[in-house]
Amino acid sequence: MFDHKSKHLSEAKLDENRRRLTLADFDYPCPAHLIAQQPRLRRDESRLLIRTTDGKTRDCHVSDLTTELPQDSLLILNDTRVFPSRLRGHLTSGGGVEIFLLEPLNEVTSSQTCRWQALGRPMKKLKSGTELIFAESLKAKVVDRNEDGVGNAFINLEFQCPAAKLASWLDVHGYIPLPPYIKRPDAHPAASSTDRDRYQTVYAQQAGSVAAPTAGLHFTDYLLVALKQRGIQICFVSLHVGAGTFLPVKTDEISAHKMHGERYRVGADTARALQIAKAEGRKIVAVGTTTLRSLESLYRVAGQDHETFVSAANEWRTTDIFIHPEYSDDIYRPWVIDGLVTNFHQPCSTLFMLVSALIGIGSAKELYQTAISREYQLFSYGDATLLWF
């Protein structure tokens, strides 16, 4: 069903210039004034740097996708919904704490409680048994702590309320989980936050993300209609963005980094659309690295068998897929897609590593330098690029 058009990482040729990459290789100069603090007034007015298969670039806008994508393309987006996952509270002793919820834990202790894995600050004060107070009606206890072996510490919290009540409380009193490079000294709770709608795609459906699939932030309802009118088919996957996407790499040896699992589901309708598009030789474009990782993960589970691919697509699964170049000349060709719309990502991040795997680390740095020289806005609220493979 899905043909290999080029080598994968393990098949890269050896030559005298080949060397193993370290974390420092994925650093690049990042001007602070280009880190977008606010989104553009209109989503699809964001700039779009297009890179063709021969490495040439040209400047467009996201709204130009109506003509830049072939008319019979299949466009796939991640419909996950961000929830207000940051909480501010205090200890019983009075000291302030900030909690960043990551994912609900499956174990059920009571219908009147719910458990979550979380990050916390200050972590040194969040020991097992510590009680936290967020409001008179919302309290929690640190059940235990754990580490992932590469320098990240987590806490497991038990809230003294049912999951539904916690969700309702967060929707009003929680804080939008903006990344730390977006500064909001006067941040407001979700109910009055100016970021509530903007840090969310217009097509978000499945609640569960603690960070936005940022490439999708550029799409408007009008643009989606215009794309369909041009004959471009649109389908969705769901991947709940979690620690696997945003936690920093802390190991010099890239392959030692641990990607935390994230829940995803491709869906039978999307799987069938993929099969038909491939059979007909149409271009398939993923919007966002999370969409790409969902499709690559499913293919690795199901392979080329049509029935298995569709049946496996309908199940919720967990992926810890980490796509990165190990050597300086590695190139990774996705099993499923032909192009990727994505934002410009932080230096040394797993997302920049993924881009480096797709087009080569040298080309990735050259692309980013081009974007910076042309004053593209960077990161979550920044501009985008369309990469053709």
Same domain, 73 and 130: no
Q: Is residue 186 part of a domain?
A: no
- Tell me, what DSSP letter sits at residue 282? -
Phi/psi for 337 (5° steps) reads: -105, 165
Whole-number pLDDT of residue 5: 43
For the chain, the helix, strand and coil percentages under 3-state DSSP, each to the nearest 5: 30, 25, 45
Domain count, the chain: 2
Whole-number pLDDT of residue 18: 84
Across 210-235, average pLDDT: 98
Q: Are strands 384-388 and 317-319 parallel, antiparallel or unpaired?
A: unpaired
Same domain, 76 and 104: no
- Tell me, what DSSP letter sits at residue 30? -
Q: How many CB atoms lie within 10 A of CB 382?
A: 23
Same domain, 148 and 281: no
CATH code of the domain containing 246: 3.40.1780.10
For residue 107, pLDDT beyond 70: no
Same domain, 161 and 204: no
Q: Average pLDDT, whole number, for the chain?
A: 94
Same domain, 293 and 218: yes
Q: Is residue 180 part of a domain?
A: no
Q: Is residue 354 part of a domain?
A: yes
CATH code of the domain containing 105: 2.40.10.240
- The C-alpha atoms of residue 182 and residue 37 are separated, in whole angstroms, by 5
Q: How many CB atoms lie within 10 A of CB 279?
A: 10
Same domain, 360 and 274: yes
Please provide the DSSP assignment of 73-94 as one string.
-EEEEE-EEE---EEEEEETTS
Whole-number pLDDT of residue 149: 76
pTM: 0.94
Paired tokens of 76: 């796939």
Domain that holds residue 304: 9-82+200-388
Whole-number pLDDT of residue 152: 86
Question: Is the separation of the CB atoms in 149 and 108 below 8 Å?
Answer: no
**108 or 359, which is more confident:** 359
- The C-alpha atoms of residue 210 and residue 77 are separated, in whole angstroms, by 17
Same domain, 325 and 224: yes
